[in-house]
């Protein structure tokens, strides 16, 4: 964000000028910027609800996809709770909780963007380590425990490999949900992060999202 810093000048009462740095870390605390961010976020939510109610709800929304996966692929419930995915609700109620999730994720991404490179690197490393633990943590623990107590060097057995099912289904469910929420996530990141570099990319994603849903209908 180094390119998003500029200089401006304020005038004292005696006519002298003082320089003022328009650095994003300081600019984002001004009430005018906060008010603009609130208005932009409300407009984003209104636009998303309009698009979802017109093209998505009842035709190709995420709950229909989740129901299909549960019925024909795994014959069981996905790890994400119905309260989070909106399954069992009707109309726009299916998107209320996922929308809050998307706004929160976009806000978290904007917050991380304001951190120092060192902090960002630590957060990314923590995310990668957490993802690895989520995926294979139970498998590794049960596998090594089985070999330790049986004194047998072997490959993971079928019951141990089944521990991969839940984390893989969880990640798949989150990816599906985030695909539906991608415009909200990226635009929230732009609005709260004041990032002009990401704005064009976010607009392009939103336009692609709108055109895809319009074509599918």
Domain boundaries, the chain: 54-216
Q: What element of type H or E holds 19?
A: strand 17-21
Q: Poorest-confidence range of 32-36, 43-47, 76-80?
A: 76-80
User: Residue 111 has which token pair?
Assistant: 């917050």
Is residue 9 within 8 Å of 17, Cβ to Cβ?
A: yes
The one-character DSSP state at 80 is: S
The 10s digit of each residue's pLDDT in 94-120 is: 889 999 999 999 999 988 888 888 999
Separation between Cα atoms, residue 64 and residue 216, nearest integer Å: 15
Contact 24, 5 (CB under 8 A): yes
Distances (CA, A) of 171 to 19, 25, 115, 148, 177: 49, 33, 27, 30, 10
* Of 96, 91, 100, the residue nearest 53 (C-alpha): 91
**Residue 11 or 102, more confident:** 102
Kindly report the pTM of this predicted structure: 0.76
Average pLDDT over residues 88-97: 84
pLDDT tens digits, one per residue of 156-210: 888 888 888 888 889 999 998 988 888 888 888 888 887 766 677 777 777 776 6
| pLDDT in the model for residue 113 | 84
Tell me which residue of 7, 34, 49, 86 sits closest to 194, measured CA to CA. 34
pLDDT tens for each residue of 142-171: 888 888 777 778 788 888 888 888 888 899
List own/partner pairs for 4-7 with CB under 8 A and 24 or more apart. Answer: 4/194, 4/195, 4/196, 4/197
């Amino acid at each position: 964000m180094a390119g998003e810093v500029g200089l401006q000048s304020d005038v004292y009462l005696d006519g002298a000028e003082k320089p003022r740095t328009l650095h994003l870390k300081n600019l984002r605390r001004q009430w005018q910027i906060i008010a603009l961010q609130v208005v932009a976020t409300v407009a984003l939510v209104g636009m998303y609800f309009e698009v979802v109610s017109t093209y998505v709800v009842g035709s190709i929304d995420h709950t229909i996809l989740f129901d299909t996966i549960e019925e024909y692929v795994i014959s069981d419930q996905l790890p994400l709770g119905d309260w989070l995915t909106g399954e069992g609700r009707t109309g726009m109620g299916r998107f209320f909780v996922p929308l809050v999730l998307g706004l929160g994720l976009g806000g978290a991404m904007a917050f991380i963007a304001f951190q120092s490179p060192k902090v960002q690197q630590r957060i990314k490393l923590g995310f990668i380590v957490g993802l690895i633990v989520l995926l294979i943590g139970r498998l590794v623990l049960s596998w090594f425990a089985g070999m330790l107590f049986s004194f047998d060097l072997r490959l993971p057995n079928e019951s141990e490999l089944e521990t991969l099912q839940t984390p893989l289904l969880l990640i798949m469910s989150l990816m599906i949900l985030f695909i539906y929420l991608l415009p909200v996530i990226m635009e929230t990141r732009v609005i709260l992060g004041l990032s002009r570099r990401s704005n064009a990319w976010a607009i392009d994603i939103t336009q692609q999202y709108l055109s895809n849903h319009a074509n599918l209908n």
